[in-house]
Each structure stands twice: as structure tokens, then as C-alpha cells.
Amino acid sequence: MFTGIIETAAEVAAVEATAGGGRLVLCGVTFAGELAAGESVAVNGCCLTVTEAEPSRDGGTVRFDLLAETLRVTNLGSLAPGALVNLERALRAGDRLSGHYVQGHVDTVAEVLDFSSCGRDHRYEVALPAAFAAQVISRGSIALDGISLTVADILRASVVCWIIPHTLAVTNLRERRRGDRVNVEYDVIGKYVARWREAGPGAGV
């Protein structure tokens, strides 16, 4: 479980193909020395298991194995060396929940339709597939590449969030461009409500 509050952005060193999946290697991970094999880290909002962590003075290297399913439903397989990814370690009992409950289970990949400056802030518009429209509410929560954001507007086929300077500075949003594809996780509470309405109150969901 995560909160969508990004701790740091790290650089992709390599995305390697393996039999039935892949391997993601990140460099410049500031908390690499605090990680052990088997721990969970959200990478662009996708919960991955650390397979190896090598600390160094300038930020360590961390490796993750990628399932074929992970490559299919996220944007991790399309990353190139040098790209920035958002990182968050798993929530600990007793931690402050500054964002919202994020499972690290990516629902879909959606296209960035607009990322434009407006004064010191940025307008961030991402496509909303019709299949997920019922899971988004105005002023509700959404995770985009693992970042907990508030839905400011719901348009016909997209959602709009606003980005403050701090969020821009500490995440990979400083590289974001129109046409990019981002990982989307909708609010887990909304998923349960949508499923309950779909199945009906007597379905035992």
C-alpha cells in the first residue's frame, strides 16, 4: 500500500528483456541503501519487488523483475535509458497519509492530452477511457504515474488536474509532454462502489 506522495525521481539505467518478462534497472535512487531484496517500491505507480539494491555515494542502483503482465498494462516497458520515474516506498503502519490509498495496481495507461503552464502552476489533462468513467468524481483522488492528485474537472473523455511547483520539482512531471502515456490507478473506494452498483446489492460483492 502506498499514498501517492512521491519520495524521489530516479533515472532509468536499463530495461532489459528476459524470458517471459523483463528487468528494470534504476540509478540515482537516494534511498537504495535502505532497501532490501523483497521490499515493495512503487515505480511510476506500479508496485514492484526489489531484487537487488546497491547503495553508492551519489545514489544507488536498484533492480526489479518485470512480469509480462506488468509490461502489458503499464508504461514501464516503453521507458528508455535516461527517463525519470517516480518512486515511493511502501506505507508503514503509523505513517501520515498525506495523499490517498494507492495500491500500486495500475488500471490502465492513458495519453496526456495537455500539460501546459498557467502562471506558476500547470494544467494536466489525461484521457479518461469510457470503461473507467464511473470511477472518477470531481474533487476525488487519482494516481497518475504514482502521484496522488485531485481531480479538478471531468470533461467528456478526460480528467484535468492542476500541478503546483513543488510537485513539478520533485517528480518526473518536469519531463512530461503532450502525447506521453502515463500509468493510471483510480481510487480503490470508487472501484468498490462502481462494482457494487454494477452487480447489485444482493450479489454478495
End-of-domain residue from the set 40, 59, 89:
89
Q: What is the pLDDT along the chain (205 residues), one digit of tens a residue?
A: 999 999 999 999 999 999 889 999 999 999 999 999 999 999 999 999 999 999 988 889 999 999 999 999 999 999 999 999 999 999 988 888 899 999 999 999 999 999 999 999 999 999 999 999 989 999 999 999 999 999 999 999 999 999 999 999 999 999 999 999 999 999 998 888 878 887 876 665 5
Q: Are residues 66 and 32 in the same domain?
A: yes
pTM higher than 0.85, yes or no?
A: yes
Burial class (CB in 10 A: 0-12, 13-18, 19+), 37: exposed
Q: For position 94, what pLDDT does the model report?
A: 84
Count up the domains in the chain and report the number. Answer: 2
- Phi, psi at 180, each rounded to 5°: -65, 160
Q: Are residues 84 and 14 in the same domain?
A: yes
Q: Which residue has the cell 490507478?
A: 185
Whether 139 is in a domain gets the answer yes
End-of-domain residue from the set 58, 89, 120:
89
Q: Which residue has the cell 535509458?
A: 81
Q: Are residues 52 and 130 in the same domain?
A: no
End-of-domain residue from the set 89, 116, 137:
89
Whether 99 is in a domain gets the answer no
Cβ pair 124, 161 in contact under 8 A = yes
Whether 96 is in a domain gets the answer no
Q: Are residues 22 and 73 in the same domain?
A: yes
Q: Are residues 146 and 176 in the same domain?
A: yes
Q: Are residues 184 and 113 in the same domain?
A: yes
Q: Which domain holds residue 48?
A: 8-89
CA distance 142 to 150: 6
Q: Are residues 38 and 113 in the same domain?
A: no
Q: Are residues 116 and 69 in the same domain?
A: no
The CATH number linked to 165 is 2.40.30.20
Based on C-alpha coordinates, what's the Rg of the chain?
17
Whether 118 is in a domain gets the answer yes
Q: Are residues 77 and 151 in the same domain?
A: no
